Structure 1
């Protein structure tokens, strides 16, 4: 199934008269790898945001849309845990393990806590 990232890439290719292979060459990967990323079978490499934005001269708005599409299309997430004590690491890992089992009400509560915390820290 084509991800939002895949749809944006396809549109870029159409707008630039390119084939999948041509975009893959610009990204330094095989066409099968690019296809797997576009179809959500592989995560989008982190450096692709800048590479695509520069290669296709994206506007700030287009780059932001691409960034959002990449974030939405991600299959996995890495998090640097340096600087966290064991109690904090355990909380982070518990959240990651249990997130899928949270109901919408609890997700909304957590979202609210995080957004309010961010506003207070700005």
Structure 2
């Protein structure tokens, strides 16, 4: 299950909504919605996310969180380490080899380290972050 799928399931359960009811309302099949929840489909597109937010009547901070979860919920990713430090390539490969065997606590530790680094980078307004924002503005 992906972080987005987990959140969707939680929202459905809290509101007592079945997969079929939600699927009918947002215009997708219940099989697709189930696959999305279980991480068997890639992350949803922007229009589907908007329909889901509308269906659950989610706004503001909670909507931003759902959008963030969708963005980090692609179940099959590719990491391009070309041009990076060789340790980045090693890390990506070792993580790919070991991720299925890592316990939840270990995953939490790794995520805390990454989030801490991300927060420091954002606070410092790193040049690479600024360049990424410029590219994002240019491409849409």
Range of TM-score over shorter length: 0.5 to 0.7
**Cα distance in 1 between the residues matched to 2:83 and 2:19:** 38
- After TM superposition, the runs of 4+ consecutive aligned structure 1 residues lying more than 2 A away are 74-77, 96-105, 116-120
Q: In 2, Cα distance between the equivalents of 1:32 and 1:50?
A: 19
Gaps of 5+ in 1: 78-95
CA deviation digits over 1:57-95, x for unaligned, max 9? Answer: 112111011001100112579xxxxxxxxxxxxxxxxxx
In the aligned structure 2, how far is the partner of 1:32 from the partner of 1:16? 20
Structure 1 residues 21-40: aligned runs within 5 Å: 21-40=20-39
- Taking a change above 3 Å as real, the CA distance of residues 119 and 53 of structure 1, as seen in their structure-2 partners, is closer
**Higher normalized helix content (fraction of residues):** 2
Normalized against structure 1, the TM-score is what? 0.63
Given the alignment, which residue of 71, 74, 81 partners 1:99?
81
Q: Which residue is equivalent to 1:80?
A: none
**8 Å Cα contact 2:2/2:75 also seen in 1:** no
How many residue pairs were aligned?
A: 99
Instruction: Name the CA shift for 1:28/1:119 in 2 (closer, same or farther; >3 Å).
Output: closer
Give structure 2 stretches of 5+ with no counterpart: 93-113, 115-120, 135-140
